[in-house]
Amino acid sequence: MNAKDLKQSRVQLFRDAANFKRTERIPHFANVVTWKVFDAGYTLDQAMTNFDVLEDTVVKFLERYPVDGLMDVGIRNQFTVTEAFGQGGYYYYNEEVVGIHDHAHCTVDTLMDYLDDPAKYAWEVILPKKYGESWDEKGLDVWKKTFSEYMRYVKYILHMSSVTGKQYGLPSLSPNNPMMGAIVLGIEELFSNLLGIQQLSVAMRRSPDQIEEFINRWDAERITPAIEKIRNGKGPNYKYCFDSSILMLAHNVMNKKQFERFYWPHMKELLDAYAEKGMNVRIFTEGSILRFADYFKDYPKGTLTFHLEQDDPFAFREALPNVCIMGGMTTDLLANGTPDECVAYAKRLCDELGKDGGFIFSEGKMLSYRNDANRDNYKAVCDFVSSYRL
Amino acid sequence: MIDFEALAAAMGELDEDTVKEILEAVDSAGNAGKAMEACQKGMDTVGRLFEEGEYFVGDLIYAGELMTDAVEVLKPYLAGSESAGTKTRMILCTVKDDLHDIGKNIVRSMLEANGFEVLDLGIDCPAQKVVDTARAENIKIVALSGVLTLALTSMKATVQAIRDAGLDVKVIIGGAPVSAEACKNIGADEWAHSPQKTVDTCKAWAAEQ
């Protein structure tokens, strides 16, 4: 099979699994991020700023492990752009570690200023906070240098898309949303960028009306138009495994009342639009989503796929038999088990969760660090999943 | 007349305005001590409601802020008084190579609310610093926090360093990546995802001392 046909057959395999159709084999979406850097013999600081090294890590991974999809093709956690912009204390990395500090660009009182004009707010508030008074003098030069690095980065992304698609038949997971960018609900923007975990947690208690006002305006300006485009669009896009990908992080700090007020009404409107058009959505959840399972129980099979991080996949299936599961393989086992133990657990996952469709094999936690998986274990699991026939 | 029951209830309900209002009436070491006990009782309620699923992580962060503010108000009255009492001292830190501090800070505020004196060694804490502090301060309980899977490696190194140093110390590990399997592999005495379990475990260990 040539790469083009292989790519399309994998798209179909993912779509069939997500749609609870019985498939010949279970697709494997490798939730591998920076672990592959170590596996290819590099350190993180060698890879994060060098596109040639990054490409080599991806190629070596795809040559070694027979997977159907890959979370990161070397475009995540690279630092040429952020360093040109003056990385500051946001990201940190060394030979073994890469991470992000919790940060906040706004306070509750400045949220509306940000919404009024995000670019102006960034130029006049966020960047001077980072660079101090000298920002006005050097701002344009920094911007030019950053833009130049950004264009190199875009070129690399396009190149890697071609390498993974045309040489290895790897499909793209999902298209950009109709608004040309990731779908980010207002509450998620507050959590990840504008307020951060600490401030948002306190603000939901101390200033709930202001939080609600921000979310309503954010979603009216950004999510409502996206929903209109979904409703007026052609429906599923069979060039991709999923019609959309959504990230859920902020639920990890919320109690049920807060979820009902700040999250669910906006999420529901979006998911309902996808369901009406027969489109499928992959929701990547960090932490646990099981305590909110009831909210998702009425969607028809084929609409939702949850990529689980910490939830027990068997308990999740019991709670939400209508939702496709992506995930299941634990880093504990990949790191500390034997190849036989890993394969036995992988077989259990495939047999119990995938015999009637509705299961995509993947690793629960992103494989990021050297000890997140033992190479022999990972190889044994990949070989098993790719060859196992139900 | 200060209504300490109302203070405990307000803290448990995370009713900031009422907590502040009641604390404004504190004017002596005697009622400051009782106010502190009421706040601690309220924090017990917070922990229970977390265990029951009514509260979640954001509520614990908020409760930590309320408790910190309350301690600031009461501290001047409590300094040197009998109410300050003798507390069990313990170490808490986020392990080497992990810079996450929110979970650690939640646990610290709940431990302090339950009467522990917490030596917070901060984030990215080397194993040797834990060993040196435990030895110098005669610490018997250590709580290691982490969010990254990488933290498991550092937790293992820290527990190993504690054991190699021959210290008689109980170790609990906590945070997203820990599990029963990880606990066994790391050689810790206990593990927890929930801050309340951490508190309960440390209280049990303190009672054994």
Distance CA A199, CA A183 (A): 22
In this structure, is residue A91 part of a structural domain? Answer: yes
Our count of domains for chain A comes to 1
Cα–Cα nearest to A59, from A76, A80, A77, A37:
A37
Q: Is A97 on the interface with B (CB under 8 A)?
A: yes
Least CB–CB distance from A336: residue in B61, B148, B181: B181
Inside any domain, residue A317 = yes
Which DSSP category does A287 fall into?
Answer: S
* Per-residue burial over A129-159, b = 16 or more CB atoms within 10 Å of its CB, e = otherwise: ebbeeebeeeeeebeebbeebeeebeebeee
Fold of the domain built from segment(s) B88-208? Rossmann fold (3.40.50)
The strand pairing partners of A363, in sequence order, are: A329
Cβ of B58 and A256 within 8 Å?
no
CB contact under 8 A, B99 and A202: no
- Predicted confidence (pLDDT) per residue in B135-150, tens digit: 999 999 999 999 888 8
Planar angle of CA A371, B161, B198, nearest 5 degrees? 80
Q: Which of B17, B150, B154 to mutate to test the interface with A (most CBs of A within 10 A)?
A: B150
Q: Do B153 and A332 touch (CB under 8 A)?
A: no
Nearest residue of A to residue B100 by CA position?
A: A101
| A87 band by pLDDT with thresholds 50, 70 and 90 | low
Residue A259 in domain: no
Q: What is the structure's pLDDT at B80?
A: 63
| Interface contact A92-B152, CB threshold 8 A | no
What lies within 8 Å, CB to CB, of B132 at 6+ separation is: none
Q: What are phi and psi of A388, to 5 degrees?
A: -75, 130
* Closest residue in A to B57 (Cα–Cα): A253
* CATH code of the domain containing A165: 3.20.20.210
Q: Are strands A91-93 and A98-100 parallel, antiparallel or unpaired?
A: antiparallel
Q: How far is B185 from chain A (nearest CA, A)?
A: 8
Its ipTM equals: 0.90
CB–CB of A287 and B176 under 8 A? yes
- Answer whether residue B79 shows pLDDT above 80: no
| CB B94 within 8 Å of CB B124 | yes
Which residue ranges make up each domain of chain B? Answer: 4-84, 88-208
Parent domain of A367: 3-112+142-175+237-243+280-387
Q: Considering chain B, what percentage of its residues have pLDDT values greater than 70?
A: 97
Asked if the structure places residue A262 within a domain, the reply is no
Per-residue pLDDT band for A217 (boundaries 50, 70, 90) equals very high
Which residues in chain A are closer than 8 Å to B61, comparing Cβ atoms? 197-198, 201-202, 253
Instruction: Give Cα A297 to chain centroid, integer Å.
Output: 22
Q: What is the dihedral of CA B121, B126, B129, B131, to 10 degrees?
A: 110
Both structure tokens of A6: 């292989």
Asked if B19 and B7 count as a contact pair (C-beta separation under 8 A), the reply is yes
Q: How confident is the model at residue A89 (pLDDT cuts 50, 70, 90)?
A: low
Is the Cβ pair A368, B53 closer than 8 Å? no
Over range A313-328, report the average pLDDT. 98
- CB-based contact A198:A102 (threshold 8 Å): yes
Query: B123-178, pLDDT tens digit by residue?
Result: 999 999 999 999 999 999 999 999 888 899 999 999 999 999 999 999 999 998 89
Which carries the bigger pLDDT value, residue A130 or residue A221? A221
- Domain B4-84 coded CATH 1.10.1240.10: yes
Domain assignment present for residue A326? The answer is yes
Mark out chain B residues that contact chain A at CB-CB < 8 A. 14, 16, 53-59, 61-62, 65, 97-100, 102, 148-150, 152-153, 176-177, 179, 181-182, 185
| Residue A236, pLDDT score | 95
- With cut-offs at 50, 70 and 90, classify the pLDDT of residue A108: very high
